[in-house]
Amino acid sequence: MKRFDGKVAVVTGGARDIGRQTSIRLAREGASVCVNYYDNPEDAQETLRIIEADGGNAIAVKGDMTNHDDINNLVAKCIEAFGDKIHTLINVAGGLVARKTMGEMDWDFWNFVMKLNLGTVFMVTKAVLPYMPEGSSIVNFSSQAARDGGGPGASAYATSKGGVLTFTKGLAKELGPKNIRVNCVSPGMINTTFHDTFTKPEVRKNVAAGTPLRREGNASEVADLAVYLASNDASFITGASIEINGGTYFV
């Protein structure tokens, strides 16, 4: 018996890096997985190929998770493929967008970062929740930046991820009586395209050297944590934010 046998999972941003590894692990554990992707069908097809090669079951659905119509389409496609219950939601989608100081930011940029990182969690959760039976679980993605303010030019991103932490705790209280758990994963420096794009190599090297474990994390390690929190192995954990950063920041 696998941990997610007979269950359906939605993973936003599920086609690459941490999202891909999470999708793969859920499928290996028996879940039927709805893999959301934004703009790279090649990533999505590769994720499906890996899942199917393992004997898993998944579909890929293109969609912008800042768009209500795309969110509703994701839910509709998932229900059409796997039935009218969704047992697990993993909100991975989000991003830094750009590093901008206060002087460089304008209102439109600020609002977009908030919508991308916090608004998507709210909107997708609201769309999926009517289909979640008792015993379901939600795992949101925050960041170490929510705890320490982030690196240079990341104050908007850090603030939005701080909102994810707070939303997770509030929603855990609201949904606990329905036996729906809500938790959060807060990664530090993880070897993904996020840092390939936004963090200079010398900064990554210095951060890794200053980490007690002396390295960056891997997407697979973060995925393992997210899947654990989503599973019944974590049945008495809700409202928690689990830091995964190799010891660079302690709560």
pLDDT in tens, 138-168: 999 999 999 999 999 999 999 999 999 999 9
pLDDT at 194 exceeding the cut of 80: no
pLDDT of residue 197: 80
Residue 219: strand, helix, or coil: helix
Which residue out of 37, 38, 131, 157 is catalytically annotated? 157
pLDDT in tens, 35-81: 999 999 999 999 999 999 999 999 999 999 999 999 999 999 999 99
Q: How far is CA 171 from CA 90, 137, 138, 231, in A?
A: 14, 11, 10, 18
Spacing of C-alpha 205 from chain mean position: 25
Q: How far is CA 250 from CA 189, 221, 241, in A?
A: 14, 18, 12
Q: Which two tokens stand for residue 112?
A: 């977009």
pTM over 0.75: yes
Q: How far apart are CA 90 and CA 92, in angstroms?
A: 6
pLDDT at 198 exceeding the cut of 80: no
Q: What are phi and psi of 89, to 5 degrees?
A: -125, 125
- Give me the domains of the chain, ranges plus CATH numbers: 8-244 (3.40.50.720)
131 is annotated as an active-site residue: no
Percent of the chain with pLDDT over 90: 90
- Which residue's structure tokens are 């900064």? 203
The pLDDT confidence band at residue 203, using thresholds 50, 70 and 90, is confident
Sequence-distant (≥ 6) Cβ neighbours of residue 223 within 8 angstroms? 18, 21, 22, 24, 25
pLDDT at 240 exceeding the cut of 80: yes
